[in-house]
Amino acid sequence: MNNVEENTARYDRARKVIPGGVNSPVRAFKSVGGTPVFIDRARGPYLYDTDGKEYVDFVLSWGPMIAGHAPESVVDAVRAAAEKGLSFGAVTEAETQIAERIRGILPSVEKVRLVCSGTEATMAAVRLARGATAREKIVKFRGCYHGHGDSFLVQAGSGALTFGNPSSPGVTRGAAQDTLIAEFNDLGSVQKLFAAQGKDIAAIIVEPVVGNMGVLAPEPGFLEGLRALCDGRNTLLIFDEVMTGFRVSLRGAQGLYGITPDLTTLGKVIGGGLPLAAYGGRADLMDRLSPEGPVYQAGTLSGNPLAVAAGLATLDLIMAPGFYDRLEALSARWENDLGAALARSPLPFRINRVGSMMTVFFSGKNVRDYDSAVACDTALFGRFFQACLREGLYLAPSQFEAGFLSIAHDEAVLARVAEKTERAVRSL
């Protein structure tokens, strides 16, 4: 068997015991065609598949690996933590340390609770908002994705949008009715919901920079408008910064745009590649959580010592002076090189980038909301993805996901990426 046949055999074997052969849908490559690449190991900016082929990685585990894969200090910290025990289900000083670090970075987060996934964080944040306001409805934006909790799988982005099931079967009518849908970058659509049902709305939840329809930036005034709508109405503003937290700036999107949410959800970078996420915000809200208050949320592996060790070591790396300036310079070069290669082709395209998050859309029009995102040429994106993969560039296997860069994607790596991209584009 050659490598392609061996890979197909691996995938066939996986599909016999795992739905779709994957533990998270977008990994199946279904919308871009072909068979998923099985990964064996990763280091710095590179992934290596089971056959030993090297790829420059622009998925980075969907965002966490901002310092590149397997940084020595993070691996050492995890190893040292593992030597002391894998899980205690009891309090540790390291949990206090990471909570203090988060509070020191994000002024809006006075208290924080650690969980294991972004989905857990968003579900708990919404429950807390409902408990605190004694209201049941939430506003979310069409095409935004906040994990796979029932309330969020209504007009959702990411894999749900990729596979054409933006509203999942299995979500009860009640859950769906409590989720009100507005349009990203359209304050008027939110105002209408408030005019009709404002007294029932517990919270607005938003990806302040969308990553799950591809990358969409908030237009000037949009996030400010959401803040103003919530103010004085007993409605909470939840920033889902699972993707953008410690990513688009050290202080996330709230730091970049200068908006203070009531609650924030974090994930990805905070765990440095291990399952760690968090939600936090104003102390008076967070103190409504059990055991201080009546709103319940718990978890056996919450604050797991390995995950916290990875998180603390990753925070050390990203807080080094100049980290985000350098990441921005590398990201700008990544954007310029890709733009230059595509501009030499007849293909219509738009590149959306905020910091080290970026998506190329095949469209002749600006992409700023759900309608303009879904109008893009996803078949052409699939061909582009496959051409890049052949060249050893591993992109997110969906038009409706973000690409990520790490500090390990240095100038030498990006110079090789530019050549590979040029060849990929010419082959289309």
Active-site residue numbers? Answer: 145, 240, 268
Establish if 240 lies at the interface with ligand HOZ (CB under 6 A): no
Of residues 55 and 194, the one with the C-beta less far from ligand HOZ: 55
Instruction: Write out the two tokens for 300.
Output: 């056996």
Query: Which residues, in sequence order, are bridge partners of residue 22?
Result: none
C-alpha 67: how far from chain center: 16
Among the residues of 56-215, which ranges form H helices?
A: 72-83, 93-105, 118-133, 158-162, 173-177, 187-197
Query: 382: helix, coil or strand?
Result: helix
Query: Which residues, in sequence order, are bridge partners of residue 44?
Result: 69
Candidate list 401, 413, 417, 420; residue touching ligand HOZ; CB under 6 A: 401
Candidate list 24, 73, 177, 197; residue touching ligand HOZ; CB under 6 A: 24
Instruction: Write out the two tokens for 211.
Output: 């990553």
Measure the CA–CA gap between 318 and 324, rounded to whole angstroms. 8
Of the candidate spans 8-16, 24-32, 106-114, 370-378, the one that interacts with ligand HOZ by CB under 6 A turns out to be 24-32
Number of residues in contact with ligand HOZ under rule CB under 6 A? 9
Establish if 212 lies at the interface with ligand HOZ (CB under 6 A): yes
Establish if 246 lies at the interface with ligand HOZ (CB under 6 A): no
Contacts 24+ apart (CB under 8 A), 78-84: 78/274, 78/306, 78/309, 78/310, 78/313, 80/309, 81/305, 81/306, 81/308, 81/309, 82/306, 84/305
Candidate list 119, 133, 158, 244; residue touching ligand HOZ; CB under 6 A: 158
Least distance in Å: CB of 59 to ligand HOZ? 8
Least distance in Å: CB of 162 to ligand HOZ? 9
Establish if 44 lies at the interface with ligand HOZ (CB under 6 A): no
Of the candidate spans 23-31, 216-224, 255-263, 358-366, the one that interacts with ligand HOZ by CB under 6 A turns out to be 23-31
Query: 132: helix, coil or strand?
Result: helix
- C-beta separation of 158 from 212 below 8 A: yes
Of the candidate spans 19-27, 310-318, 343-351, 413-421, the one that interacts with ligand HOZ by CB under 6 A turns out to be 19-27
Interface mask (CB under 6 A) for ligand HOZ, residues 162-181, using x and -? --------------------
The closest residue (CB) to ligand HOZ is 24
Region 285-314 residues binding ligand HOZ, contact defined as CB under 6 A = none
Of the candidate spans 20-28, 230-238, 365-373, 378-386, the one that interacts with ligand HOZ by CB under 6 A turns out to be 20-28
Count of C-beta atoms within a 10 Å radius of residue 301: 16
Candidate list 36, 64, 159, 280; residue touching ligand HOZ; CB under 6 A: 159
Measure the CA–CA gap between 86 and 305, rounded to whole angstroms. 7
Count of C-beta atoms within a 10 Å radius of residue 135: 20
Query: Which residues, in sequence order, are bridge partners of residue 264?
Result: 239, 280
Residue 79: name the closest of 261, 313, 368 by CA.
313
Least distance in Å: CB of 26 to ligand HOZ? 5
Candidate list 7, 21, 26, 187; residue touching ligand HOZ; CB under 6 A: 26
Region 364-383 residues binding ligand HOZ, contact defined as CB under 6 A = none
Of residues 26 and 47, the one with the C-beta less far from ligand HOZ: 26
Of residues 59 and 308, the one with the C-beta less far from ligand HOZ: 59
Establish if 27 lies at the interface with ligand HOZ (CB under 6 A): yes
- C-beta separation of 161 from 213 below 8 A: yes
Count of C-beta atoms within a 10 Å radius of residue 12: 11
Region 59-78 residues binding ligand HOZ, contact defined as CB under 6 A = 62
Least distance in Å: CB of 211 to ligand HOZ? 7
- Which residues in this chain contact ligand HOZ in the complex, by CB under 6 A? 24, 26-27, 62, 145, 158-159, 212, 401
